[in-house]
Amino acid sequence: MLLRISLILAIVAALAAGTLSYFAMADKIPALTAQRDAEKQDKHKVQTELASTKTKLKKTEGDLTQCRQDLTDAKSEREKAEARGSAESKRADDLSDKLAKLTQERDEIQNLLVAYKNTGQTPEQVLALKKTLKSNEIQIAAITEEKAVLLRKLNATKAELAKFIDPDTDIKLRADLKGKIIVVDPKWDFVVLNIGETQGAIQDGELLVSREGKLVAKVVIRNIQKDRCIANIVPGWKLGELIEGDDVTPAHPAT
């Protein structure tokens, strides 16, 4: 009988302990659940931030690769421009030497012609000298024109090279360069000018537009032909409506 009572007491004590443990755990379960949910949210947030960081890193790597390629391309273009400038400069020097030589030869022939006339040389001799003089004058005119063309190309190449070295460099135009607007397109804000490569216009050169001495706008040359060019109106510099006949002069004249 005593044994049975002991067993019953043990069972009751075990049930009581289990009940107490249950209630103790029941109090902790919401906190554990909340902790689990918070950790789950934190994990999701970290994973999201990691994915975003990887995406940004990939984009940054792509931008860096593009920048490196752009730098390589710019360096290559600059080297090409330097090579063209050197070749054109040498060609200009050669033409100057040849022009000086022919000019000297022409002057000598002219002096000889005068001397022959004064000494009563034969018509055949005088005619031969005249032919030689005419030939030299033609060569001099051709070389002078070729030199002018070459100098214009050299100036354009120097301007192109300056842009590679410093994109903000102002393109210098001939101080005596003057022209007029011959066509206006108000829809697309561009004009056609009666000056071109022959007159000394250079790509990206800026011109001031004026009418009766008053500033109207500033334009930048975008396309050049032999005797005319197309220029866009610079944003923020349009002070009035442009019309045909408006005058244009260099915004940055060469000294």
Q: Smallest Cα–Cα separation from 195: which of 232, 174, 224?
A: 224
- Structural domains of the chain, ranges and CATH numbers in brackets: 1-169 (1.10.287), 179-250 (2.40.30)
Two tokens at 9?
């007491």
Q: Which DSSP category does 174 fall into?
A: -
> Which residue matches tokens 């063309």?
149
Q: pLDDT at position 96, please? A: 84
* Residue 104: Cβ within 10 Å count: 11
Note the pLDDT tens digit of each residue in 29-72: 666 666 776 777 767 777 777 777 778 878 877 777 887 887 78
In DSSP terms, 238 is beta-bridged to none
CA 192 vs. chain centroid, Å, equals 22
Q: How many residues does the chain have?
A: 255
Identify the pLDDT of residue 10.
63
pLDDT at 19 (0 to 100): 59
pLDDT of residue 32: 64
pLDDT of residue 147: 72
pLDDT < 70 regions, the chain: 1-34, 37, 42, 116-117, 119-123, 125-126, 148-149, 152, 154-156, 158-168
